[in-house]
Structure 1
Amino acid sequence: MPRYFFHVSGTVTFVDQVGRDLVDDEEAWSLAITSTGELLRDLDGGMPDQADILTMVTNDDGEALISLRFIAERHMKATSH
C-alpha cells in the first residue's frame, strides 16, 4: 500500500512525519477533504480574518499530490457619512 503524508499550514504548521498507508490516491483525496473539514469544524468559529489554511498531501517521494486551500476573508460594507 502506498503511504501518504498530510501536511497542514496556516496559523500553525504541522508536518506529517509518519504518514498513512492508504489504498490509492482516491482514498487520500477523500481523507484530505474529510480531515480539512474536521479541522475547520474544530476551530468552532474562531478563524481569524485573512486566515489561509493549506492541506498538502504528498507521497513517499515528497511529491505533492493534493492541495486543498481554504481562505477566509471578510468583505465589509462601506459606510456612508
Structure 2
Amino acid sequence: MITFGRKLKHLRQKNHLTQKELGIAIGFPEDSADVRIAQYEADARKPRDEILAKMAKILCVPIDVLTVPILSEPREYEAASFWMHELAAEL
C-alpha cells in the first residue's frame, strides 16, 4: 500500500515545495517546519485533521487523496477484489 508519507512527499515535490516551505505554509514555526514535514513523510507521525485540511488545500487536492488507502501490490488487489465480490451486496 502506498503510505501517507509517500503520497505527501510526491505531492509536495510536484508542487515544487521544500519541506520547510510546506511546513511554514501550514503554520508550523520556521525553525521546526521542515522537521515536522519530514516526520510525516517518514510515516513517523500522523497529522491531525486540521493539519490534513491545510495540507490538502496547499497541495490543491481533496483530503481523500491524502487519506484513502491506495493499493500498490498484486496481493492487495487480489484481496480487495475478493472482498468487493464477497461484500458487493453490502457496498
TM, length-normalised to structure 2: 0.24
Whose helix proportion is higher, 1 or 2? 2
- More strand by percentage: 1
